[in-house]
Amino acid sequence: MSADSIVVDGVTKNFTLRYHRSIKDITVAKIKGQAVSNTFKALDDISFTIKQGESVGLMGLNGSGKSTLLKLISGVMRPDQGVVKTRGQIAGLIATGAGFHPQLSGRENIFLNAAIYGLSEDETAAIYDDVVRFAELGDHLNSPVGNYSSGQYSRLGFSVAVHIDSDIFLADEVLAVGDKPFKKKCMEKMEEIRDSGRTVVYVSHAAGSVKRMCDRVICLEKGRLVFDGDVDEGIEYLHYGEDDAKGSAKLKQLEAADSALGAEV
């Protein structure tokens, strides 16, 4: 029986929205009896277990808590309540440009980003050529990444992440930026990672790519886990019934995102 790779137990994460920036505005608002902030639950009592080698799609509309959950699994954030446990090395792209220094060149940032993952300089040198070849950034590698487009950020970040020898791979809409050939190459690389036996958590709106990549789907809605199971059933659950006006709107959003991400690759 496969060991547990990721365990999320009773996890809640709160965020506070502040309506005013300055002390003056806060003071005036309080005098008038107006609210100065609002705390909400980005994740509300989430629990699930992912076995080693599973490939799980994490789906839901914008604001459902997908990216927050991924950051908790990666260790970038900590839950306010509950526990997140992971087994082994974690790699992946959870935010475009995460771990890059804007004033350093692409080449320098490869070594910086790899060091964040725990690689030594010699270990990074061993994968360096593969990272550069995959990213296809050409002379831009010599430029500061602060001048990169979001697509170039995505290329470099994804290229480093997929060449890290990890046990768990996390991907947050890595195919959302870039041209179709690069999206196709990303998807093929992710399938290679999945087939190697690593645990994959793939956040996406694209039903087509989730069907291709995953053998299980977890759906979030307004911070709560509302579905955990079969991929086709999970995607259908998000449609909420095509006859319902609300469901039709959700379906159209999913289909539009699917088309934009080039799911046909």
Whether 224 has a pLDDT exceeding 60, the answer reads yes
Here the tokens at position 23 are 């002390």
Whether 82 has a pLDDT exceeding 50, the answer reads yes
Here the tokens at position 17 are 């929205």
CA distances from 242 to 210, 225, 236, 237, 251 (A): 20, 21, 9, 10, 7
- Name the pTM for this structure: 0.78
pLDDT of res. 144: 94
Whether 30 has a pLDDT exceeding 90, the answer reads no
Q: How confident is the model at residue 238 (pLDDT cuts 50, 70, 90)?
A: confident
- Residues 18-30, mean pLDDT to the nearest whole number: 67
Whether 49 has a pLDDT exceeding 90, the answer reads yes
Smallest CA-to-CA distance from 44 within 229, 237, 227, 222 is with 222
Q: How confident is the model at residue 209 (pLDDT cuts 50, 70, 90)?
A: confident
State the average pLDDT for the chain. Answer: 83
Domain borders along the chain are 4-88+167-260, 97-163
pLDDT of res. 39: 76
Q: If one looks up domain 4-88+167-260 in CATH, what number appears?
A: 3.40.50.300
Q: How confident is the model at residue 265 (pLDDT cuts 50, 70, 90)?
A: very low
Yes or no: say if 178 and 158 are a contact pair by the CB < 8 Å rule.
no
pLDDT of res. 254: 52
- Residues 87-101, mean pLDDT to the nearest whole number: 78
pLDDT in tens, 139-192: 999 999 989 887 888 888 888 988 998 999 998 865 555 677 888 888 888 899
Q: How confident is the model at residue 253 (pLDDT cuts 50, 70, 90)?
A: low
- CA angle (41, 45, 47) in 5-degree steps: 135
